[in-house]
Amino acid sequence: MNIFKKKKLLVTHNGTFHADDIFATAALSLLLDGNMKVVRTRDEKMFAKGDFVYDVGGVYDEANNRFDHHQEGGAGKRANVVPYAAFGLVWKTYGKTICGGSSEVADAIENKLVVPIDADDNGMSLFKLTTDSPIYLIQTMLYTFRPTWKEVQDYDTPFFKCVDLAKEILKREIIRARDYFSAQSIVVSMYEKASDKRAIYMDGQYPWKDTIDGYNEPIYVISPKDGKWRGECVRKEKYSYENRKSFPESWAGKRDGALEEVTGVKGASFCHNGRFLVVANSKEAIDKLIELALKN
């Protein structure tokens, strides 16, 4: 992936680290295939020497690999009004290259991972809490590596540990996005082949939710897994836990003999308490369970 031959000098700020500079470093490491040296400093002399300077320096100049957003006026906003931070600026320039030339994959990671991190770094909330309990975000996890007031104030060692972790997360997100997009034509085909669009049968464990949620008819999706068959509810909305139609209330939490008794279906194995999942030991059994659920 390294499009640069010479070892590159990366310069970012020292002291307290954030998800922004951690993931910007991780992204550049993937771009350069590790052929780099990272210096954490606020010494302006180093800014001039750096091949990449990000989250520090007060300059956004894509052509010269300067990716700061702290200067007056910032470094611009996206169409969705989320301001760019260093991670987003790096990703805007090199995300497609890091993703093997795929704009589709780079855009998916931009939306899923980069935008939330940039928003947080710029003090912008993307959601509202519905309880008094805070949400444990990816930056929350990274900040647990910061030294407490009782510990030695060494920020460099945990910073580089977090960069290694962020690299693995980025690599996994790239793989998952690639595999997701490669499955979508299969999912669409399964939908189109279904004689009853309320129950869509898959022949494997494909990522189907976003695609199937886009159709109005599907209520359940059925697929094989680990020698059994699973029926899952389609959601009313993408980010909702509310089902278009839950499995019958009398099935909730029952398994094996108890589920067989209440359904009258031999081979019925399990129904989740949330009534969004039902499992059977055979396709014949899952067919009967789905038929019952549709009639219920």
Compute the distance between CA of residue 199 and CA of residue 196 in angstroms, rounded to an integer: 6
Give residue-wise pLDDT tens across range 264-275.
Answer: 999 999 999 999
Q: What is the largest CA-CA distance in the chain?
A: 77
Is pLDDT above 80 for 2?
Answer: no
Give residue-wise pLDDT tens across range 177-210.
Answer: 999 999 999 999 999 999 999 999 999 999 999 9
pTM listed for this prediction: 0.88
What are φ and ψ of residue 10, in 5° steps?
A: -105, 130
Tally of CA atoms within 13 A in the half-sphere of 60 that contains its CB? 20
User: Residue 161 pairs with which residues in a beta bridge?
Assistant: none
Compute the distance between CA of residue 208 and CA of residue 211 in angstroms, rounded to an integer: 6
Compute the distance between CA of residue 84 and CA of residue 90 in angstroms, rounded to an integer: 10
What is the pLDDT at residue 1? 55
Give residue-wise pLDDT tens across range 129-151.
Answer: 888 888 899 999 999 999 999 99
**What is the average per-residue pLDDT within 233-253?**
93
Compute the distance between CA of residue 146 and CA of residue 123 in angstroms, rounded to an integer: 19
Q: Are strands 220-225 and 228-233 parallel, antiparallel or unpaired?
A: antiparallel
- Cα torsion 152, 154, 159, 165 to 10°: value is -30
Give residue-wise pLDDT tens across range 105-130.
Answer: 999 999 999 999 999 999 998 888 88
What is the pLDDT at residue 129? 84
**What is the average per-residue pLDDT within 65-77?**
96
Give residue-wise pLDDT tens across range 153-164.
Answer: 999 999 999 999
What are φ and ψ of residue 60, in 5° steps?
A: -115, 110
Compute the distance between CA of residue 103 and CA of residue 110 in angstroms, rounded to an integer: 10
**What is the average per-residue pLDDT within 8-17?**
97
What is the pLDDT at residue 4? 63
- Both structure tokens of 173: 């997100």
Bigger pLDDT: 6 vs 232? 232
Give residue-wise pLDDT tens across range 26-51.
Answer: 999 999 999 999 999 999 999 999 99
Domain boundaries defined on the chain: 8-123+131-178, 194-295
What is the pLDDT at residue 3? 59
Buried b (16+ CB within 10 A) or exposed e, 105-142: bbbbbbeebbbbbbbbbbeeeeeeeeeeeeeeebbeeb
What is the pLDDT at residue 241? 85
Mean residue pLDDT of the chain comes to: 95
